[in-house]
């Protein structure tokens, strides 16, 4: 018999111990606190399964509000599914998930979404009510194939932290985006400035005292750049930012730039014109809803998705 209950302060050591057992790598207490307790929209919702005093199952949905036509709704990112190796095959994944899902509507959470790996993709649909939204390709630019030299745009500058201009920018562009992750300054500062491990480059396109677009990048390994988010007011801004990203990646000696951009995104054609090509790796993207939402969460044409929506980048 297993005992199921929601996370309580004091469970952190058992969770990080289970993480080490399941993934054969450690998660620092700082990283755990940042991810699970630090989000501006509230702490993560976590269901735990115990066998006696031992934690053997874990299912988490971290705060990840969505913007729907510019209006914010409460949603959660599914992440860090864990079952102790000695207890696999006993249905702990679906039991912990479904028990947590039973609480989410009363917590006001309208939907849960995420990027299941191949090991749990089918289980999420068969056992816990998920539906696929899209299989997200990676768009990659081979920098060695470029036929021209790109230079940084003079209106694009690097900043060292997220500031209040991002609030004004998202207030302007948010209503034009059917469904996307909420990107106010507090959320971006938590995700980028306060990340305990990753180091990001923040490029903004300036228009006087305001910004008309931004690009967030990080290095991947020794020879690649991940463009984890590009958000622009128009395609002219996209071209200026992308020219700068390409120039900086080339100057760093990187071989390629990778990003996500679904087909309906306005700057998708700008990426393709510059030489970005869709290919692998392909990432599953799915969701489940609990409360009414004004848009169809399962219509991939409505989503404006980036790598920053995943917890892996």
Asked whether residue 123 falls in the same domain as residue 150, the answer is: no
Question: What does the pLDDT average to over 9-31?
Answer: 93
Per-residue confidence band for 119, with pLDDT thresholds at 50, 70 and 90? confident
Domain boundary among 135, 150, 174: 135
Rounded CA separation 145/156 (Å): 24
- The whole-number average pLDDT for the span 189-209 is 96
Q: Categorize the per-residue pLDDT at 1 as very low, low, confident or very high, splitting at 50, 70 and 90.
A: confident
52-74 residue pLDDT tens: 999 999 999 999 999 999 999 99
End of a domain among 83, 100, 135?
135
Confidence of residue 46 (pLDDT cuts 50, 70, 90): very high
* 3-class state of residue 295 by DSSP: coil
Tell me, yes or no, whether 180 and 46 share the same domain: no
Model pLDDT for residues 252-283, shown as the tens digit of each residue: 999 999 999 999 999 999 999 999 999 999 99
Has residue 291 been placed in a domain? Answer: no
pLDDT, tens digit, for every residue of 120-170?
Answer: 898 899 899 999 999 999 999 999 999 999 999 999 999 999 999 999 999
| 209-222 pLDDT, tens digit each | 999 999 999 999 99
Q: Greatest CA span in the chain, whole angstroms?
A: 65
User: Residue 29 above 90 pLDDT?
Assistant: no
Q: For residues 127 and 159, state if they share a domain.
A: no
Number of domains in the chain: 2
257 and 277 in a single domain? The answer is yes
Residue 304 lies in a domain: no
Kindly state whether residues 197 and 254 are assigned to the same domain.
Answer: yes
Distance (Å, rounded) from C-alpha 44 to C-alpha 42? 7
Residue 127 lies in a domain: yes
CB-based contact 137:280 (threshold 8 Å): yes
- CB-based contact 230:306 (threshold 8 Å): yes
Domain co-membership, 30 together with 122: yes
82 C-beta neighbours (distance < 10 Å), count: 21
C-alpha to C-alpha distances, 14 to 21, 49, 188, 224, nearest whole angstrom: 11, 11, 29, 36
Does the residue 183 lie in any domain?
yes
* Mean pLDDT calculated for residue range 157-185: 97
Q: Is the residue at 167 inside a domain?
A: yes
* 279 falls within a domain: yes
Domain assignment present for 289: no
Residue 34 has pLDDT above 90, yes or no: yes
What the block records as the tokens of 58 is 């874990």
Question: pLDDT at position 44, please?
Answer: 96
Strands (DSSP E) along the chain, which ranges? 3-6, 45-51, 54-63, 66-68, 71-73, 75-83, 111-114, 131-142, 156-159, 179-181, 201-207, 210-220, 224-232, 256-259, 277-289, 303-304
In a domain, 305, yes or no: no
Residue 76 and residue 147 in one domain: no
Output the pLDDT for position 108.
96
Model-level pTM? 0.95
At 78, which CATH number? 3.40.630.30
Domain boundary among 135, 162, 187: 135
Domain shared by 142 and 279, yes or no: yes
Q: For residues 212 and 275, state if they share a domain.
A: yes
Question: What mean pLDDT comes out for the span 202-211?
Answer: 94
143 and 279 housed in the same domain: yes
User: 130 and 194 share a domain?
Assistant: no
Shared domain for 145 and 267, answered yes or no, is yes
Q: Please give the residue range of the domain that contains residue 172.
A: 138-283
């Amino acid at each position: 018999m297993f005992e199921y209950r929601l996370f309580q302060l004091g469970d952190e050591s058992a969770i990080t111990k289970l993480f080490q057992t399941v993934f054969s790598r450690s998660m620092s207490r700082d990283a755990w606190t940042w991810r699970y307790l630090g989000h501006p929209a509230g702490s993560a919702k976590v269901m735990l399964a115990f066998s006696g005093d031992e934690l053997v199952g874990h299912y988490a949905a971290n705060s990840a509000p969505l913007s729907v036509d510019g209006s914010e709704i409460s949603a959660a990112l599914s992440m860090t599914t864990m079952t102790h190796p000695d207890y696999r095959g006993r249905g702990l994944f679906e039991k912990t998930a479904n028990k947590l899902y039973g609480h989410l509507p009363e917590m006001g959470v309208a939907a849960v979404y995420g990027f299941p790996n191949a090991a749990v993709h089918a289980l999420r649909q068969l056992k816990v009510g998920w539906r696929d939204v899209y299989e997200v390709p990676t768009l990659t630019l081979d920098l060695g194939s470029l036929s021209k030299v790109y230079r940084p745009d003079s209106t694009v500058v690097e900043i060292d932290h997220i500031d209040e201009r991002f609030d004004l920018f998202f207030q302007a562009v948010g209503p034009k985006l059917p469904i996307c992750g909420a990107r106010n300054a507090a959320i971006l500062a938590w995700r980028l400035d306060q990340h305990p491990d990753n180091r990001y480059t923040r490029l903004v396109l300036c228009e006087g005292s305001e910004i008309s677009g931004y690009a967030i990048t990080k290095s991947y390994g020794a020879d690649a750049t991940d463009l984890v988010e590009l958000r622009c007011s128009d395609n002219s801004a996209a071209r200026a930012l992308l020219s700068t990203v390409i120039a900086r990646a080339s100057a760093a000696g990187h071989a390629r730039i990778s990003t996500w951009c679904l087909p309906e995104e306005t700057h998708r054609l700008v990426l393709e014109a510059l030489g970005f090509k869709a290919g692998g790796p392909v990432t599953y993207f799915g969701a489940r809803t609990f409360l009414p939402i004004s848009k169809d969460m399962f219509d991939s044409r409505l989503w404006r998705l980036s790598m920053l929506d995943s917890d892996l980048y």
